[in-house]
Amino acid sequence: MNSFIFDMDGTLFQTNKILELALGDTFDRLRTLNLWDSGTPIEKYRKIMGVPLPQVWKELLPQHSLPVREEANDYFHERLIQNIESGKGALYPNVEELFTHLKEEGHAIYIASNGLTAYLSAIVAFYRLDRWVTETFSIQQIASLDKGQLVGTIIQKYGIKNGAVIGDRLSDINAAKTNHLTAVGCKFDFAQEEELAQADFVIEDLSELKFLLSDSCDV
């Protein structure tokens, strides 16, 4: 049996479908509070997607105080969750097909994400991912906000010996390598070529993971 630890944003969930909406609402609010006077930095967010949220808001609001950043983050997440629950998001193609296949083959599925717990719970609930996923882990559970340590927590809790981390950003690839698991990079919306170059394998569709399984008994 292998264990598969998936990232959420940009890997399982098409965050781009709700990201711009929520970010636009957040910066509209900042403008009404006279705390922002230019365009919404959507492209800047796309480039840093995958880093822990405190770093995200430090990058997006470098001249603002910590309380302003925290309030913006809270409002942003409220909007994200509302968009999820209203069906504006989507899973990537073949998520359910892949998960069904993995479970039928006796493999274990986990999620490890830099997203916050309430946000992840909204996605899991809306798409009923707990039909396949053993447990979902948030970076909020790790004081260091280090994804490698988060994956290490999963490995320790479940006694994982073999498996892979599947994600679209360098934090996922590094988390796999730190924990001696296979790094599978997803060439999806937020992926960057120089980061994917460090993965053991790169896929352009989640269904390709099944072929990796057939080529190696220990992915």
pLDDT digits 0-9 by tens, 123-167 = 999 999 999 999 999 999 999 889 999 999 999 999 999 999 999
CB contact at 8 A, 8 and 123: yes
Model confidence at 48, pLDDT cuts 50, 70, 90, reads: confident
Percent of the chain with pLDDT over 70: 97
User: 192: which residues sit within 8 A by CB, 6+ positions away?
Assistant: 169, 170
**At 128, is the secondary structure helix, strand, or coil?**
coil
d(CA 130, CA 128): 5
Q: Is the dihedral of CA 16, 76, 13, 142 positive or negative?
A: positive
CB contact at 8 A, 90 and 33: no
pTM (global) more than 0.85 = yes
